[in-house]
Structure 1
């Protein structure tokens, strides 16, 4: 497949995975993901600013305005490519004026770092409803010239102009990262390195769901797959302290720029529910884990390990799934992953406690009983290549709920919900992962 080819939802696996080669010694490696969960505003954002000035009409979506999305690549390379998505759109999405640069602060870029990004040699492209599109490769001279270690933790700013009205916007609600938007009708501003054109902020990502970097062939990617506890609810806004972030820093300390950890969590996600999902029938937790395996894991570049933490929402009053349904769903998912990606390592993570949660859908005894059944299966069922015991890292033996120090919310400073661990909880989770459990063998 040539860069710039538009893909519909039914043609992802072979074409997307065929783009591995960059040079004889390099390959594309997934450096960042922001799983598309549905049409704005359906979802579970955290610390979201008022969006009514940037997007006055959700049905019309973005209108002739520029996004400057800020994200942290987990691995840097001298060349990158971007994947744009219209997965939940109902109109063709016209985008142009795409640029990628190094964030300086706020919506401002490091002078001289901004680079034009093209689609099969063209400055703009149209993505049909349900489709997605890779850009051409773009050189990042600042990454080639700098010591890679000096860029770790720095953030990439991806700017693009939505031409006309987008209609329903495909988004990832819970970015926990501030990005920026120009006013409706303001036109293309992606080439500008200053911040004056971007008065509005958002705590979500729109239309962009993956970034690849060129890296030495064989560089492993560890993908963290799950719900809001992987997505990072109650971690710190702009703090990069979700448990996958903690794990990333540990692995980079040992391996340098020769590994990537990416986050494919969606707040509210379930293993087996909902039974159907689409632009006309959205659900705050996005499509089921089984429905998004192809898009969010199999079609990505260089995935060698998947750490799967999920089940809480299936057992909530919103999901009402049986233990058996979730167990069988996990078996099906692992089987599909192993069939699609030979040699992939699939790691099961035990589900953290929610007893006593203030959320009306969570915290009841039946949910906890099913959670304990699922954890026993994860530990003893022989399905996974390794097990990470997040339950042991976060559970208070005296109450069966979260440890008290893991309850207060870190994102807004409010009271916690006894469902989502705070920064202290995510730190304990990330520190509890044995590196040998998630790194590929050999």
Structure 2
């Protein structure tokens, strides 16, 4: 992934003050890298009339501290940075990782410098992405880590993971990457930026990638509580005594299988290779996508920022063809795919008919390597087009924390883990 994305822009990178040197590509080549935490980026619409929801914080010459929860333990780690949607270089003057002490605080004297090709500063060209050098750090599965980046003097945020359900922090001007105190981190935001992966050297381990839309993203789950269904699945796997399986969340709220969006990222069928197949150590994916494809055709078009554009009309056959493309791409790379049924969303009859037909195909086609029946886990037994009341967050589409827990309980863990060992 690093070689592929940086090779085309390498000439441009050489013009940057802290250009990436070729030896970074070989760093840690003998290790067995497995993704322990990840997120997926989406571009921020670039227009003057953005609503407040899409305005990014000022980070130029400041330190951005993000809190991540790895799902796999190790003693050596790499941090993955992405400038996928950038139009100018991504400049990081200093990067450190430390165990979080809660909020914006970090454990004192625990910050570890992260380097790139032996250098403490890095400039990643527009469209590029890069793994750090391996760093010696004790990563404990389930514990929070603070990744602190001192940004270049002209750096702007043009892409993010918008719904993080995690409070992250921006400092006052200056380099505060080594600060244990939270005092300088007065700005708060609930997105992830630039840091899209943390991998650990973990022989015999493998990663499950949960990928989909807002229901995988954990929309309306409790802030800072890790109550998304992939989080609950992580805890369930850990409770079973399994220590070599990581779970990462690559859902994007608003995402569709077949259509790009100005706000909700590239179509999943297009981003699947980058976000899942290119992530180190991924051996299986759980795919839950399609409800927005069904719904967005009915959303009214409007002037200004129209996040639902294009309002594409789709059929069950269109979604099935998209699933088949994803499955074929995964199988080509030796990755197993578990198909998840689309959950109830109180749809009108015509759209509900598409959902039911798609779910029937997922259950009976045997096209997937396994099935996760989220629909059966969440639906009201008396009204199958609706969520059970206890599992409804209140908008009749997104589950509550209890609903997300029920989804995790519906995953056939033994079959999932065993599929990755074959």
Query: Do both proteins adopt the same fold according to a TM-score greater than 0.5, normalized to the shorter chain?
Result: yes
* Corresponding position of 1:301: 280
Consecutive unaligned residues in structure 2, runs of 5 or more = 11-21, 299-310
Match of residue 87, structure 2, among 85, 90, 99: 90
- TM-score, normalised to structure 2, is 0.86
* Count of aligned pairs between the two proteins: 389
Check whether the contact 2:66–2:147 (CA below 8 A) recurs between aligned residues: yes
Q: Per residue, is there more helix in 1 or in 2?
A: 2
d(CA) in 1 for partners of 2:264, 2:54: 20
Cα 1:337–1:9 shift into 2, 3 Å: farther
State whether structure 2 residue 153 is matched by structure 1 residue 164: yes
Instruction: Name 1:412's counterpart in structure 2.
Output: none
Matched, 1:422 2:400: yes
- Moved segments of 4+, more than 4 Å: 7-10, 18-23, 49-52
- 1:86 to partner: Cα distance: 1.2
* Structure 2 partner of 1:176: 165
Query: Which residue of structure 2 lines up, in the alignment, with residue 368 of structure 1?
Result: 352
Gap runs ≥5 in structure 1: 43-48, 56-60, 144-150, 275-281, 356-362, 409-415
Q: Distance in 2 between matches of 1:264 and 1:20?
A: 26
Q: When the two structures are superposed, what TM-score results if normalisation uses the length of structure 1?
A: 0.82
> Does 2:330 match 1:351?
no
* CA distance in 1 between partners of 2:45 and 2:187 (Å): 16
2:76 maps to 79
Conserved? CA contact 2:330–2:336, under 8 Å: no
Secondary structure class of the residue paired with 1:427? helix
Task: Give matches, 1:30-69, under 5 Å.
Answer: 30-39=35-44, 55=57, 62-69=59-66
Per-residue deviation, residues 219-270 of structure 1 (Å, max 9, x unmatched): 1211111110000011111111111111111111224431101111000111
Match of 2:32 in 1: 27
The question of 1:314 aligning with 2:293 is answered yes
Distance 1:364 1:284, change over 3 A: farther
2:134 and 2:365 map into 1 onto residues whose CA distance is 43
Verify the 8 A CA contact 1:62 1:167 in the aligned structure 2: yes
Q: Relative contact order, CA 8 A, sep 6+: which one is greater?
A: 1
Within 1, Cα distance between the matches of 2:412 and 2:157? 42
Shift of 1:63: 1.4
- Which residue of structure 2 lines up, in the alignment, with residue 278 of structure 1? none
> Given the superposition, is the C-alpha separation of residues 203 and 347 from structure 1 closer, same or farther in structure 2, using an over 3 Å criterion?
same
Kept in 1, the 8 Å contact 2:45–2:262? The answer is no
1:46 alignment counterpart? none
The equivalent position to 2:368 in structure 1, one of 376, 384, 387, is 384
Is 2:390 the counterpart of 1:405?
yes
